[in-house]
Chains A and B, each alone.
Chain A
Amino acid sequence: MYENVIMKYASITVFSLLIVLGACGTDSDNEAASNGTEPVEENSLSGELNVVGSTTVQPLAEVLTEAFEALEPDVIVFVQGGGSSVGVRSAVDGTADIGMASRDIKLSELQENPEIRVHTIARDGIAIIAEPGVTVDNLSKDQIRNIFSGEITNWNEVGGENLVITVVAREEGSGTRAAFEELVMDDDLILGNAILQPSNGAVRTSISVIPGAIGFLSFGYLDDQTKPLAVDGFLPTEEFAASGSYEIVRPLNMVTNGPPEGIAAVFLEFIVSEDGQAIVASEGYLPVN
């Protein structure tokens, strides 16, 4: 009789596992689905445009899309997340007309496909933040690198109190992590014992509650839950980032396979136009010019 009960629980276990695995499958399904929507090129500019990639660029792209659709009522732009790597890949294999990437294009990606064209549409700073109880206000880039690689493990080594440093970082594959590694870490690796959180919001929340925590965050997510640290004397503000004094700044890119054509070309022109860049600035990112 209780075999039934056991089977019930066995199937619950198997099914919850299947759901996890099933979730893995959906990504590629979505890409396959968007395959069928190629842009229709006409003189009067109507049709569809698929923009896929970085979740950091996504919110900005959505606002830009709204403004663009108001200008070109016959155009429909679909913006979809998935991450920087997915963005580059989708642009290359034609799944998307434009890919979004919140980092520079990797050498390996360029080697695989020399036709990639990169269009920087905005720039975004990465702030170094600490838990509000940390007394240190300023770190040098070297100190940050040594903290994130695990060589410095206590705040008293960088002029603070005797408090163990807990490093919080993003997961492998995140554009923010890739940009941070490139801009700060050089060839050093982020230590394995770092707490990894899968989103900017989760990083911010964990740093706010863990005594002695440090991490990095896109400028757009800064708020008073955490304490932004100055890097080489400059606080992470738009002014310092724009003037070049604050150095941890990454490009937000759109990628096309070969020179952009049709709607994609018009859309990219619009983004770097004065109107487009005004939107970039009003959304809290740094304009490209």
Chain B
Amino acid sequence: MARLSSPPRVTSRSTERGRPAKVTGKQRVESVVKYIFLFSALMSILIVVMIGIFTFREAIPAFREIGIIKLLTGTVWRPGQGQYGILAMIAGSGLVTLGAVIIGVPLALGCAIFLSEIAPPAVRSIVRPSIELLAGIPSVVYGLFGMVVIVPLVRNIDVPGNTGFGLLSASIVLAVMILPTISSVSEYAIRSVPKRFREGSLAMGATKWETLTNVILPGAKSGIMSAIILGLGRALGETIAMIMVIGNSVIIPFAASDNPLSIFLSRARTLTGNIAVEINYATGLHESALFATGVVLFALIMIMNSSARILIGRRKWEKK
């Protein structure tokens, strides 16, 4: 569809160029409006840049006094004793995000396939808004739900030291939170697989399932990958819901029983949680170290979003 829209754009530009250079009132209004929009666009870039600079500037003392390597690889975070290592938080954020992907991606892909390939329009018109509604629920409500429903359920798993607060509860909550992102972006990806692929496959006698697994999903692969990466970015940034269910202990998550999966019952702290929990009381180097945590988060999310964009550029049939 993006291909179709480009030729008209070219023609409209050429007619503009061909017009006599007489400025009418209408054209003046148009150019004013154009600059207003340009200004808004520049403003949003400016805001991002300003926040980036500000965060980085505040983090400089931490980078200088603690050292980037020591900050990133240190396993002990005790600001009272002058120890600032955020590896435990990086591990916490990483594992909770991994857990959310394991639980959330199959669900979200199922939704996307159902909506784009299976559901009749009437059903779709009910299911899709309900999924989108999930994106509109404030995260503190997810946190509350996690605390009173998920945490007590997880507590029933019989592993020593399991309190329900930890990675598993957090991953379940997070999986639901990233579901709308992944599902709607992958749905668009699946829909944008050209109809002729589908028709060709069916015409050659493939079943619907074969068409789905051999033609449609491979065709939408890069789009689905970028959907997942965007979901990852959203998961990394989530804060308040995580604080409420993850336990906030500053430890590298560990497996408490012989089963390595019990690592997900371990408590943890996320990068975002580290900032939100401690910023109220932080002064001096402690405060700067929290800003450094923010810089790490910022960098991680920028990497996520850029890789999503790069993946989009790799849709093969589009290149043709």
- Knowing A171-B278, A198-B277 touch, does A9 contact B237 (C-beta < 8 A)? no
Residue pair B281, A2 in contact (C-beta under 8 Å) = no
Residue pair A6, B2 in contact (C-beta under 8 Å) = no
Interface residues on B, range: 35 or more
Q: Which residues of B contact A194 (CB under 8 A)?
A: 249
Q: Which residues of A contact B278 (CB under 8 A)?
A: 171-173
Q: Which residues of A contact B184 (CB under 8 A)?
A: 5, 9
Report the separation of the CA atoms of residues A196 and B246 in the bound assembly, to the nearest whole angstrom. 9
Whether a CB of chain A sits under 8 angstroms from the CB of B113 is no
CB nearest to B295 among chain A residues: A21
Residue pair B51, A195 in contact (C-beta under 8 Å) = no
Report the separation of the CA atoms of residues A279 and B237 in the bound assembly, to the nearest whole angstrom. 45
Residue pair B250, A196 in contact (C-beta under 8 Å) = yes
Q: Which of A202-219 contact B (CB under 8 A)?
A: 206, 209-211, 213
Residue pair B294, A82 in contact (C-beta under 8 Å) = no
CB nearest to A153 among chain B residues: B161
Q: Which of A63-103 contact B (CB under 8 A)?
A: 81-86, 89
- A-B CB contact pairs (8 Å), 22 listed: A2-B188, A2-B189, A6-B185, A6-B230, A9-B185, A13-B234, A13-B305, A17-B237, A17-B298, A23-B276, A24-B279, A83-B280, A84-B281, A172-B80, A178-B80, A192-B249, A193-B249, A193-B251, A195-B267, A209-B152, A211-B155, A211-B163
Whether a CB of chain A sits under 8 angstroms from the CB of B314 is no
Residue pair A171, B248 in contact (C-beta under 8 Å) = yes
Residue pair B249, A14 in contact (C-beta under 8 Å) = no
Residue pair A9, B165 in contact (C-beta under 8 Å) = no
Majority DSSP secondary structure for residues of A touching B: helix
Report the separation of the CA atoms of residues A23 and B185 in the bound assembly, to the nearest whole angstrom. 29
Whether a CB of chain B sits under 8 angstroms from the CB of A281 is no
Whether a CB of chain B sits under 8 angstroms from the CB of A107 is no
Query: Beta-carbon contacts of B230-243 to A below 8 Å, as 1s and 0s?
Result: 10011001110001
Whether a CB of chain A sits under 8 angstroms from the CB of B247 is yes
Report the separation of the CA atoms of residues A14 and B276 in the bound assembly, to the nearest whole angstrom. 17
Given contacts A21-B298, A173-B80, 9 further A-B contacts (CB under 8 A): A1-B1, A10-B309, A12-B234, A13-B304, A18-B47, A81-B280, A172-B281, A196-B249, A196-B277
Residue pair B192, A192 in contact (C-beta under 8 Å) = no
Residue pair B181, A171 in contact (C-beta under 8 Å) = no
Residue pair B294, A27 in contact (C-beta under 8 Å) = no
A191 to chain B, nearest CB (A): 9
State which of A18, A82, A84, A172 has its C-beta within 8 Å of the C-beta of B79. A172
Q: Which of A183-240 contact B (CB under 8 A)?
A: 189, 192-198, 206, 209-211, 213
Residue pair A171, B2 in contact (C-beta under 8 Å) = no
Q: Which residues of B contact A22 (CB under 8 A)?
A: 51
A155 to chain B, nearest CB (A): 13
Whether a CB of chain A sits under 8 angstroms from the CB of B81 is yes
